Amino acid sequence: MTTAPPPPSGGRELSSPPTDGVSNLRFSNHSDHLLVSSWDKSVRLYDASADAIRGEFMHGGAVLDCCFHDDTSGFSASADHTVRRLVFNNNREDILGRHDAPVRCVEYSYATGQVITGSWDKTIKCWDPRGANGQERSLVGTYTQPERVYSLSLVGNRVVVATAGRHVNVYDLRNMSQPEQKRESSLKYQTRCVRCYPNGTGYALSSVEGRVAMEFFDLSETGQSKKYAFKCHRKSESGRDIVYPVNAIAFHPIYGTFATGGCDGYVNVWDGNNKKRLYQYTKYPSSIAALSFSRDGRLLAVASSYTYEEGDKPHEPDAIYVRSVNEVEVKPKPKMLPNPAT
């Protein structure tokens, strides 16, 4: 009796990956569908479990971000300045609206039913996808940011906007007239990624200089005393510290632990509450460009895709890996309490 060979330690590689760099990937909230945006101007919908492409949409420029609306549709943010709605089951798309520069980020708010986009035109925009027949009907509001938008994250009614110049604005989606909080990154170098904690109490923010900051919304002294930052995605070589950008952060939906991916090709899993690294996966062939856990936390999608941090040079082919997640890799370890003196 023959058994199938075990998947390689990096996970199962999806066939038919994008033909250029992966800008983002996201699992659906309803299934193992995986949405992938790429510099090859495409958004692809995969069934990650079946390793099958379920749909593909081409754009007028590189696609810098994508997100799901529901299991049959999603949204994309493109360098051609457009925000598009993609309907998978009948391969239809329409333009929700436009920015004045490449659109870097897109998120869908289940709390408000709006699409939020961030652009290098130094604005975020909110859209109502139900009014997508005309741009005027679908645009809810435009909100000026201090600099180009690099990363966006939502939790509940909050949206966190990270821009160039290390600015971080926190908004309440129910009142966008001004930020609820205006902050500066506590890291000294350019922000790469911001992701809100699933429990809604704060956000993790990563930089190009091998660090992650753990931040909290509560501005009281007690709330702010919990914040900290830590070094990661670094190595020492002949006495020198080599530091890599941290491109991706993904929270585990069950345990609230999180994975980070860096230009060193490694994915690390962290327990933020106990300030410990839980796991490091085997090195991937190229930079980690994006990460996403499936809705039940059983799968982790990893984009191994060169992010041009060292300019144009020969590099490994862009690839997407889907790995099965073991509980031991993501579950926080209980704190060991000292035995009370008898």
Q: Are 66 and 36 in contact (CB under 8 A)?
A: yes
Q: How close are the terminal C-alpha atoms of the chain, in Å? A: 58
Model confidence, pTM:
0.93
> What pLDDT is recorded for position 239?
86
Instruction: Quick: pLDDT tens for 175-206.
Output: 999 999 999 999 999 999 999 999 999 999 99
Distance CA 230, CA 243 (A): 13
Phi, psi (degrees; rounded to nearest 5) at 161 = -115, 120
b vs e for 258-295, b when ≥16 Cβ sit within 10 Å of the residue's Cβ? bbbbbbbbbbbbbbbeeeeebbebeebbbbbbbbbbbb
Q: Which tokens sit at 121?
A: 């035109």
Q: Give all strands of the β-sheet with 267-271 in edge-to-edge order.
A: 246-251, 258-262, 267-271, 276-280
> What pLDDT is recorded for position 307?
82
Helix (H) or strand (E) holding 138: helix 135-138
Exposed/middle/buried for residue 198 (C-beta within 10 Å: 0-12, 13-18, 19+): middle
Query: Which residues sit opposite 14 in a β-bridge?
Result: none
Instruction: Quick: pLDDT tens for 38-95.
Output: 999 999 999 999 999 999 999 999 999 999 999 989 999 999 999 999 999 888 999 9
Q: Minimal CA–CA distance to 168: which of 203, 133, 117, 119?
A: 203
Query: Which residues in the chain come in under a pLDDT of 50?
Result: 2-6, 342
| 3-class SS string, 105-130 | EEEEECCCCEEEEEECCCEEEEECHH
Q: Give all strands of the β-sheet with 82-87 in edge-to-edge order.
A: 63-70, 73-78, 82-87, 92-98
Phi, psi (degrees; rounded to nearest 5) at 225 = -70, -15
Distance CA 65, CA 39 (A): 10
What Cα–Cα distance (Å) separates residue 135 from each residue in 54, 125, 129, 213, 298? 28, 12, 10, 37, 39
Q: Minimal CA–CA distance to 24: which of 13, 32, 15, 35?
A: 35
> What pLDDT is recorded for position 264?
96
> What pLDDT is recorded for position 4?
44
Q: Are 202 and 196 in contact (CB under 8 A)?
A: yes
